[in-house]
Amino acid sequence: MTVPIQKNERAIVYIEDLTHDGNGVAKIDGYPLFIQGALPGEKVEVHVLKTLKNYGFAKVVEIIEPSPDRVEAPCEYFKQCGGCQLQHLSYEGQLKWKQKMVQNVMQRLGKIDAPVLPVKGMEHPWSYRNKAQIPFAQGEEGAIAGFYKTKSHSIVDMERCLIQTGEADAVLAGLKGELTKLGLQPYNEASHSGQLRHVVVRKGRATNEVMVVLVTKSRKLPQKDAVVGVIQRLVPNVASIVQNVNGEKTNVIFGDTTITLWGKDTIEDKIGDVRFEISARSFYQVNPEQTEVLYKQALDYAGLEGNECVIDAYCGIGSISLFLAQKAGHVMGVEIVSQAIEDAKRNAELNGFTNTYFEAGAAEEVIPRWYKEGKEADVLVVDPPRKGCDEELLRTIIEQKPKRVVYVSCNPATLARDLRILEDGGYKTQEVQPVDMFPHTTHVETVCLLTRK
């Protein structure tokens, strides 16, 4: 195939769509160009940066006809930071694009003809993240902290982030200047030297409690009291200050050792009427306001009347399980991470639920055994990781025939693939409801209802 345009050439193109990482897509004689910063519906002049056999990359030289949904990105770091991809698209435009994106994926990858409803968005889509993971490094003039540039490990030094909490901003801006006095050298990824790798800030929306986690290369923390004092000054509502030790040469943030330096071991939050204890390493949805929207939708799709047995595959710390337990006869949750199961049991006890059971293990192994033991589900809920459901679990669902399946997904592509398998196995997708869990990014959460044909 002859590439119709070459590197360093210019062209005027029409933007048809966005990619999963927020780049505009244009085609020249069927040849795709990916263009950072361009929006669907725009006519732009581009300069070609790179061409490969099947696609190329370009940058915008001039916007000839802007999208009516184009806005000025409010964040001064938007063009450098890789955290958000869509701040230059109005929030209404983001919701419209996400609905269309889910529709296209359902039809193209899964041949699913169920209605995709308008995306449930936020009234105020800012400062929504209850967890910030801030990497620290040594800059030319001192410590820097912020978030990574797109597809790199270069830190954009910043003072604030518009989608995280004020407490995280206070730590981000205030701690950098204190590190030398505290004897904390920022970590150097290349040489594996230095001490402070990340600072993680978590907040309970309902309780206002904050946890600050210092991720260090070793246990050594010579001025512990001074560190605690600085954090207390920066974050007056801090309830827990924790050190996590990660001595490995790795991109994984947390290590295996966690030490409480001051205050409580956990903080607490509520989603709806359900309370949750959150530790330094607990999995907990980062947007609690929209998590409540998502879980209420899952509860609605479950159609519970009070006597049903529900199985929650990939149950994590039991967040969806406990929401379901408010209306189900019995809920059984399975999760491969044993610490998450311990958290789920503790959260069930915290809320006084006696109709729940949690077990650690692979869902595709545990659930078939439960069925053999006579523990059959009226409703089965799945909330898998981005890779989707294990094939063995999908086979189990098809063989055991629960009346309803509620599928919660963070990846429309693997969702469409799995829905196709379930439809071929005797189910019908009734409805697809996207929920905007991550405003100003290209990510979208989705919950679907399937029933037996």
Catalytic residues: 410
Cβ neighbours of residue 224 closer than 8 Å, sequence gap 6 or more: 261
Cβ neighbours of residue 281 closer than 8 Å, sequence gap 6 or more: 244, 254, 258, 339
Answer for the pair 287, 130: CB distance below 8 angstroms, yes or no.
Answer: yes
| Six-digit token string for 126 | 């800012």
Give which of 448, 444, 445 is closest to 428, Cα–Cα.
448
Give which of 326, 274, 332 is closest to 305, Cα–Cα.
326
Half-sphere exposure of 182 (CA within 13 A, CB side): 23
d(CA 292, CA 130): 14
- CB-based burial of residue 389 (10 Å sphere; 0-12 exposed, 13-18 middle, 19+ buried)? buried
| Six-digit token string for 236 | 């007056």
Single-letter residue type at 334: V
Residue 81 backbone phi and psi in degrees, to 5: -75, 145
Can you list the pairs that 258-263 forms with residues at least 24 positions away whose Cβ atoms lie under 8 Å? 259/219, 261/214, 261/221, 261/224, 261/227, 261/228, 262/228, 262/232, 263/238, 263/239
| Six-digit token string for 10 | 């210019």
